[in-house]
């Protein structure tokens, strides 16, 4: 049994309306991390009369019930994750792909960061930003100039270097 399955099994029973159940099923059926708009589009296939307000209210309820995780990275739209246990994410700077991962040494890193900053962490998530394998391949084949500049570490704006 995966960590995600074990975490889902450990959740208390919550009575869900038909709309909330449909929205939860959309999130659980997907491998990616959908936005509210993507959830609305998928849920409206089985519930044609569903509204954006119902989707947003249901997402808030599901998040508060611990059934989904809301992921918010700055100015972009929130995304929703079926895996609610502690895990980390990698985000592609080119296409926006969001991938889950878990590193065994993350807990030690978090403790070291808390000691160094003198913060008491309430939650910690490691976010790796970079270029996904698909965009790397597109850049290597010359199909995507935006990806080419991100892979090479040179900004497309004024040719500034962004190497690490």
Mean pLDDT of 30-35: 93
Rounded to two decimals, the pTM is 0.70
pLDDT digits (tens, 9 = 90+) for 139-154: 888 765 555 555 555 4
Identify the architecture of domain 13-85 in CATH.
Orthogonal Bundle (1.10)
**Which pLDDT score, from 0 to 100, does residue 104 have?**
81
Domain boundaries, the chain: 13-85, 86-164
Tell me the CA distances in angstroms from 5 to 1, 16, 17, 71, 161, one per residue in order: 6, 19, 22, 19, 43
SS3 11: coil
86-164, CATH topology level? Dna Ligase; domain 1 (3.30.1490)
CA distance 158 to 164: 18
Q: Which two tokens stand for residue 134?
A: 């698909």
The answer to whether the CB of 67 falls within 8 A of the CB of 80 is: no
Burial of 25: CB neighbours in 10 Å, binned 0-12, 13-18, 19+: middle
């Amino acid at each position: 049994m995966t960590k995600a399955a074990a975490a889902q099994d450990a959740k208390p029973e919550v009575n869900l309306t038909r709309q909330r159940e449909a929205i939860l099923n959309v999130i659980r059926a997907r491998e990616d991390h959908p936005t509210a708009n993507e959830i609305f589009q998928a849920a409206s296939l089985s519930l044609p009369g569903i509204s954006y307000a119902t989707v947003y209210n249901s997402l808030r309820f599901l998040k508060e019930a611990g059934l989904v995780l809301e992921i918010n990275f700055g100015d972009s739209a929130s995304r929703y994750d079926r895996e609610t246990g502690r895990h980390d994410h990698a985000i592609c700077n080119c296409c926006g792909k969001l991938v889950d991962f878990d590193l065994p040494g993350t807990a030690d890193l978090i403790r070291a960061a808390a000691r160094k900053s003198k913060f008491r962490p309430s939650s910690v998530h490691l976010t790796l930003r970079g270029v996904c394998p698909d965009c790397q391949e597109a850049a290597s084949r010359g199909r995507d100039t935006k990806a080419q500049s991100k892979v090479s570490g040179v900004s497309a704006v004024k040719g500034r270097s962004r190497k690490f």
